[in-house]
Amino acid sequence: MTTELAPVPPPKGDADPTPTRRTGDRLAFRIPVPPVSGVVRPRLLAVCLLLSAATFLAFSVETSVGDIDLPVTDVMKALVGVGDPGTQLIVHELRLPRALAGLLVGIAFGISGALLQTVTLNPLASPDMMGITQGAGAVVVAGIVLGRDSGLNTQALGLLGALTAGLLVYVLAWKRGTTGYRIVLVGIGIAWICTSITDYLLARGQRFQAQAALGWLVGNLNGRTWDQISPLAITMAVLVPPAVLLGRQIRILQLGDDVAKGLGTRVHTVRVAVLLISVGLVAFGTATAGPVAFVALAAPQVAQRLAGTPFPPPVAAGLTGAVMVLVSDLAARKIIPDTELPVGVVTGVLGAPVLLWLLIRANRAGSGG
Amino acid sequence: MGTSAVRVAKGPRAVLLLTFSGVALITLCALSMAFGALGVPLDQVWHTLLGNPPNARVDTVIWSVRLPRTALGLATGAALGLAGALMQALTRNPLADPGILGVSAGAAFAVVLSVGVLGMSSVYGYIWFAFGGAFAASVLVYVLGGLGRSGSTPVKLALAGVAVTSLLFSLTSAIALTDPDALNRYRFWSAGSLADQDQEVLLRVLPFLAVGAILALACAPALNSLALGDDVAKSLGLRLGPIRVQGVVAVTLLTGGAVAVIGPVVFVGLVVPHIARVLAQLAGLGPDHRWLLPLSAVLAPCLLLTADIAGRLIARPTEIQAGILVAFIGGPFFIALVRRRRLAEL
């Protein structure tokens, strides 16, 4: 796990003779030639591998199931560009954009939630609670109800709303620096203002507009196209690597600002970077699929309990998010015949019991935060 | 635990603070009686209430429209404020509000279910569903949050609440998306309004609100011990289980009743306790729940009535629902408060 690689000071003279050492749930190792050392959490590593396998499985099924069910082997062939042209067309133009949207949105929400929960020290801090998704919701519903939908598509409106809300939260929380606590509270203020705008618009709009708006508000993967995937993919290529690399710095922030400063962490730079990354991921994710309910909040908590770590691990959280969204989308398409429920309706139904089950059997008090 | 000298000094200041808030509330009640489609001067309001109406029209408006509406705002506002303060203290989470413990989601789900599946169309029908839904959801959250090896912790309770809330929200949207009638009723109910509710509705939930308020206020001394942490509270002789059960029952009665009538008005329960704590701090009072709970109960209807009055004035001749304006008025105020000072942490 790259996130867990912590640089260890070079041995001075009498180096520890043991190459690996186990402390608690961590495994410290040192290889003499080439000189590499680090710390891994075997359980976290195992969880990540399992989650990757589950993600791959869900992705494969997602691409093979639909109006015409295709054998997974045919889909695999089509993916690498061989096999029946008709199958290739279905896979490349219909199935792949939808599955990729689910995969990327899940990863983006999971990582974003993990970062926010760690930096604010609050398991309830997620984009769902802090105004970012509500900002997107308010602007998109305004577009639908006020009839401005024609000019700008919902994707652009969602992006605009999420980024504006994120910026607003940050600017309003800024006062000679920010603290996680203030960001969360300001975020909640913004969230409720945006929610009330949305409620007002829903109540004053026409029935069909309200229905369209609600359909977007719960999150949806129907009819995604490559045009919608590419911006998200590019954003993630830029934002995910720094998110993973910042993992250690973020956890140092948990020791409190003063201790973190003493350890040489640039507290404000790290916090700003983390907020920018999470807002960016959520904004583009929401623009692509709508605010798929519950993923950003639940995936990090689920990942944390699976891996037994004291904080939500970003990579595992991203993978958990991907599994949640892909499995939920499959269920949404298949539960009721001839009806395609939006994926967000299912994420809560499937995600909530998992989170509850993990909460009930969590083995250490207060391991949630 | 202060010395007795400190307590004597704090008492009058707390009474003063409560008195000021009470005066503000009475002023707002008077304004709520006066403003609306028919403007009634304050002296006429007074005479009408004493039984000498200037004319029959004013008499009707005051007694059958304004008074019930104001009373509704008072009762439900106080209930939401009390419930919020109680819940934040119980879960030791500054973000806890009745929405987070699943109460509002339970009520909303039950309303959509009763309209969409059972074809309920009258308010008298679905307030009981809303109430039952609120009750079932909060009991479920409480049981789920308390199961498992480590028992009930504030974080587990809050997370269980959010999990149940999203589960119910998902089911609610599934019904609302497939049933236009249910969606239609749901979107108006969920905006939260004090308008068009008759006295009958209020009288039906009032007993529940009253019992909830008594239970909540009776929790106050124990909440002060609980604020020191579970271990300290236990060593002070507090039995955590019974006090948590009492608190959850009080929250359920208060919010269930309020939400059933006026819809899931959010924000009041979340924000008002923060405002109460800041005011108590400014007045030099500590975080003593024996003052914070009554103060929240007085301040919350101030917010709700202000929103209701503003909603009547802004969009004349129509109205904007109070639930929507609460966030518009409370939101910026709340953000300003968060910026001004470090909020009293729990």
Does position A18 have pLDDT exceeding 60, yes or no? no
Confidence of residue B7 (pLDDT cuts 50, 70, 90): very low
* Residue A196: inside a domain: yes
Quick one: average pLDDT of B72-97? Answer: 86
B87 touches chain A (CB under 8 A): no
Quick one: average pLDDT of A114-137? Answer: 84
What does the pLDDT read at residue A110? 94
Report whether B255 contacts B90 (CB < 8 A): no
Confidence of residue B341 (pLDDT cuts 50, 70, 90): low
CATH number of the domain that residue A196 is part of: 1.10.3470.10
Interval B284-332: pLDDT, tens: 777 788 888 999 999 999 999 999 899 888 877 777 888 888 888 888 8
* Residue A280: inside a domain: yes
What does the pLDDT read at residue B81? 93
Confidence of residue B196 (pLDDT cuts 50, 70, 90): low
Does position B51 have pLDDT exceeding 90, yes or no? no
* Number of domains, chain A: 1
Does position A286 have pLDDT exceeding 60, yes or no? yes
What does the pLDDT read at residue A362? 61
Report whether B96 contacts B269 (CB < 8 A): no
B159/B153 Cα distance (integer angstroms): 10
Does position A366 have pLDDT exceeding 60, yes or no? no
Q: Is the pTM of this model over 0.95?
A: no
Percentage with pLDDT > 70 across chain B: 90
Does position A158 have pLDDT exceeding 70, yes or no? yes
* Residue A201: inside a domain: yes
B145 touches chain A (CB under 8 A): yes
B152/A79 Cα distance (integer angstroms): 49
Interval B230-279: pLDDT, tens: 788 888 877 877 888 888 889 888 988 888 888 877 778 888 888 888 88
What does the pLDDT read at residue B204? 83
Q: Looking at beta carbons, which residues of chain B come within 8 Å of A199?
A: 187, 190-192, 321, 323-324
Sheet holding A36-40, edge to edge: A20-23, A26-31, A36-40
* Residue A254: inside a domain: yes
Quick one: average pLDDT of A243-269? Answer: 80
Report whether A201 contacts A145 (CB < 8 A): yes
* 3-class secondary-structure state, position B143: helix
* Residue A2: inside a domain: no
* Residue A9: inside a domain: no
What does the pLDDT read at residue A178? 67
Instruction: Show the domain range for A278.
Output: 41-62+98-364
Q: Looking at beta carbons, which residues of chain A come within 8 Å of B144?
A: 356, 359-360
SS3 of chain B: helix, strand, coil, percent, to 5:
75, 0, 25
What does the pLDDT read at residue A153? 77
What does the pLDDT read at residue A239? 92
Does position A122 have pLDDT exceeding 90, yes or no? no
Q: Which element (helix H / strand E) includes A36?
A: strand A36-40
* Residue A139: inside a domain: yes
All structural domains of chain B, each given as residue ranges with its CATH number in brackets, are 80-337 (1.10.3470.10)
Report whether A162 contacts A282 (CB < 8 A): yes
For residues A12 and B141, the model is more confident at B141
For residue B324, give the nearest of B195, B185, B192, B183 by alpha carbon. B192
Contact partners, residue B340, CB within 8 Å, separation at least 6: none
How many beta-carbon pairs below 8 A join chains A and B?
Answer: 175
B324 touches chain A (CB under 8 A): yes
* Residue A292: inside a domain: yes
Interval A326-340: pLDDT, tens: 999 998 888 776 677
